[in-house]
């Protein structure tokens, strides 16, 4: 197998034939996927793919040229987005590492500063999201630095990591990620928070923690309950989003 990526006059690229070989797909199907991308987003995606050709051996010993494409990192991300499964994820990780490694090597040979923007981070972020869906939040967190993503400050959503001996249930951390905003000035009824959590678990075919465990988790994260003047139980610092 050839190297996953190489430096060409088109930049750091991989080829449609290499992608087909790595992901064990027919090259014609890979070409069809690229054609579909270009037909739907010709203006936006044309710069990410360059049509080329490759020579393939014939049964009689001769060779013929076939249509192929070179693609940059963003083109590969668009193409590989539709490849699913654990094996596909492994190869996506390998590709991102190969792109990162070559970009680092080129940066070390140049005096130009390396600037990370949202487009450059998008492939790694997509893999982190896929890893989280397949294997859970802890695996996604471990992948974050391995994929060269910048270090970020801890947020209130993961305060529980500082609570000795306590591990936040996965369903609660996921619910917070999608249904809750951290807002120091906000107050929310404890019952509304739990109802939102139960609904999220139902919508995602997850088994919800009971209300006692749910309340304990929020308290460990620094959102204790308190009684309002009307007798309702409130938690300060959390706001529900739809």
CATH number of the domain at 174, please: 1.10.10.10
Within a domain: residue 1? no
Of residues 153 and 235, more confidently modeled: 235
**Residues 126 and 188 grouped into a single domain:** no
- pLDDT score at 153: 41
Structural domain range at position 127: 6-146
**Residues 234 and 121 grouped into a single domain:** no
pLDDT digits (tens, 9 = 90+) for 62-117: 788 889 999 998 889 889 888 888 888 888 888 888 888 887 777 666 554 444 44
User: If phi over 0 gives left and psi between -120 and 50 gives alpha, with beta otherwise, what is residue 202?
Assistant: alpha
Residue in the structure block whose two tokens are 């305060």: 159
**Residues 171 and 226 grouped into a single domain:** yes
**Residues 114 and 203 grouped into a single domain:** no
Residue that is last in its domain, among 114, 146, 178: 146
Q: How confident is the model at residue 36 (pLDDT cuts 50, 70, 90)?
A: very high
Within a domain: residue 152? no
197: pLDDT strictly greater than 90: yes
Of residues 201 and 118, more confidently modeled: 201
| Most confident stretch, 2-11, 28-37, 98-107, 121-130 | 28-37
**Residues 117 and 196 grouped into a single domain:** no
Q: How confident is the model at residue 155 (pLDDT cuts 50, 70, 90)?
A: very low
**Residues 13 and 86 grouped into a single domain:** yes
**150: CB partners within 8 A, 6+ apart:** 116, 121
Within a domain: residue 232? yes
**Residues 138 and 163 grouped into a single domain:** no
For residue 209 the two structure tokens come to 């923690």
pLDDT digits (tens, 9 = 90+) for 24-33: 999 999 999 9
Q: How many domains does the chain divide into?
A: 2
**Residues 129 and 217 grouped into a single domain:** no
**80: CB partners within 8 A, 6+ apart:** 19, 23, 88, 92, 95
The bridge status of strand 63-71 relative to strand 49-57 is antiparallel
Mean pLDDT of the residues in the chain: 79
**Residues 17 and 59 grouped into a single domain:** yes
**Residues 91 and 61 grouped into a single domain:** yes
Of residues 116 and 195, more confidently modeled: 195
Distance CA 150, CA 90 (A): 21
Backbone phi, then psi, for 227, in 5-degree steps? -90, 135
Please give, one letter per residue, the 3-state secondary structure of the chain.
CCCCCEEECCEEEEEHHHHHHHCCCCHHHHHHHHHHHHHHCHHHHHHHEEEEEEEEECCCCCEEEEEEEEECHHHHHHHHCCCCCHHHHHHHHHHHHHHHHHHHHHHHCCCCCCCCCHHHHHHHHHHHHHHHHHHCHHHHHHHHHHCCCCCCCCCHHHHHHHCCCCCCCHHHHHHHHHHEEEEEEEEEEHHHHHHHHHHHHHHCCCCCCCHHHHHHHHHHCCCCEEECCCCCEEEEEEEECC
For residue 219 the two structure tokens come to 């308290």
**Residues 24 and 139 grouped into a single domain:** yes
- pLDDT score at 154: 42
**Residue 133 near residue 43 (C-beta atoms within 8 A):** no
């Amino acid at each position: 197998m050839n190297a996953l990526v190489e430096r060409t006059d088109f930049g750091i690229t991989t080829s449609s034939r290499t992608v087909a070989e790595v992901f064990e797909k027919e090259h014609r199907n890979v070409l069809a996927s690229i054609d579909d991308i270009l037909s739907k987003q010709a203006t936006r995606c044309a710069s990410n793919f360059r049509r080329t050709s490759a020579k393939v051996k014939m049964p009689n010993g001769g060779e013929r040229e076939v249509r192929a494409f070179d693609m940059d990192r963003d083109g590969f991300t668009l193409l590989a987005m539709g490849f699913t499964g654990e094996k596909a994820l492994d190869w996506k990780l390998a590709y991102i590492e190969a792109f990162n490694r070559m970009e680092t090597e080129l940066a070390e040979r140049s005096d130009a500063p390396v600037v990370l923007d949202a487009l450059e981070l998008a492939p790694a972020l997509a893999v982190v999201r896929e890893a989280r869906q397949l294997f859970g939040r802890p695996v996604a967190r471990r992948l974050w630095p391995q994929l060269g993503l910048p270090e970020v400050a801890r947020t209130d959503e993961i305060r529980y990591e500082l609570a000795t001996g306590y591990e936040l249930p996965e369903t609660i951390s996921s619910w917070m990620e999608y249904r809750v905003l951290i807002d120091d000035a906000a107050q929310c009824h404890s019952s509304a928070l739990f109802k939102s959590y139960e609904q999220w678990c139902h919508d995602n075919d997850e088994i919800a923690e009971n209300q006692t465990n749910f309340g304990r988790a929020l308290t460990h994260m620094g959102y204790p309950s308190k009684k309002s003047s009307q007798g309702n139980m409130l938690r300060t610092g959390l706001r529900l989003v739809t």
